[in-house]
């Protein structure tokens, strides 16, 4: 017969072993399922009155079993109502010491549309983690009617692996963004102590 002390030790060890094996089995199933998830480079939306700038956030979501080494985006938009200004760095791009380049060119198929090409390259050998990458800053033209339909930013992202040579990742998706010309400026949050 087992004594009370040895049974507790054995029971406790058995419980821990089952717990660890169960969590490992659960993680391996999760990792396999994660492999089918896409890398997502999504655009957000922003609105402002015509004649002012909007900031459209860009977010990255990376499955746990993938390391992203570079992101390229082609963002196509109507160039009459809005114009691309620049990229404003975000928390993740600062964290990984990323180089972000942007170039705007006219669409070869339609001169009323422009393509902003954005390339994000992290510091050497650093994978790009999930999160807020940067803002795209657009200027809404002064002649755009207030409360007109939103302007769609068509998003065509590509992501590459960290490995050398870098390989194009096969499963990359991204939501389009929106720029909304509004009749009112959004409310501005202010600090109570600063105002008094």
Q: Each residue of 94-115: pLDDT tens digit?
A: 999 999 999 999 999 999 999 9
* DSSP string for residues in 134-191: EEEEEEE-TTSPTTPPPEEEEEEEEEEESSSS--B-S-EE---EEEEE-SSPPP----
Name the pTM for this structure: 0.76
Distance CA 147, CA 126 (A): 43
- Higher model confidence: residue 127 or residue 16? 127
Q: From residue 9, how far is each of 1, 17, 21, 22, 23 by CA, in Å?
A: 14, 12, 18, 20, 21
In whole angstroms, what is the distance from residue 137 CA to residue 156 CA?
18
> 18-22, 43-47, 78-82, 91-95 — which is least confidently predicted?
18-22
Q: Are strands 99-106 and 151-161 parallel, antiparallel or unpaired?
A: unpaired
Beta carbons within 10 angstroms of residue 59's beta carbon: 18
């Amino acid at each position: 017969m087992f004594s009370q002390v040895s049974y507790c030790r054995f029971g406790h060890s058995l419980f821990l072993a089952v717990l660890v094996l169960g969590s490992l089995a659960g993680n391996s199933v999760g990792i396999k399922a994660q492999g089918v998830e896409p890398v997502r480079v999504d655009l957000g939306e922003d609105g402002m009155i015509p004649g002012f700038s909007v900031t459209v956030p860009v977010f990255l979501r990376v499955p746990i079993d993938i390391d992203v080494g570079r992101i390229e985006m082609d963002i196509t938009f109507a160039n009459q109502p809005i114009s691309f200004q620049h990229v404003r760095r975000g928390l993740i791009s600062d964290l990984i010491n990323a180089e972000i380049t942007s170039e705007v060119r006219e669409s070869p198929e339609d001169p009323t549309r422009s393509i902003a090409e954005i390339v994000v390259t992290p510091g050497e050998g650093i994978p790009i983690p999930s999160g807020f990458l940067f803002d795209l800053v657009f200027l809404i033209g002064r002649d755009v009617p207030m409360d007109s339909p939103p302007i769609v930013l068509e998003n065509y992202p590509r992501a590459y692996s960290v490995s050398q040579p870098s390989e194009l990742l096969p499963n990359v998706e991204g939501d389009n963004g929106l720029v909304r010309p509004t009749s009112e400026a959004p409310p501005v949050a202010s600090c109570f102590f600063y105002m008094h």
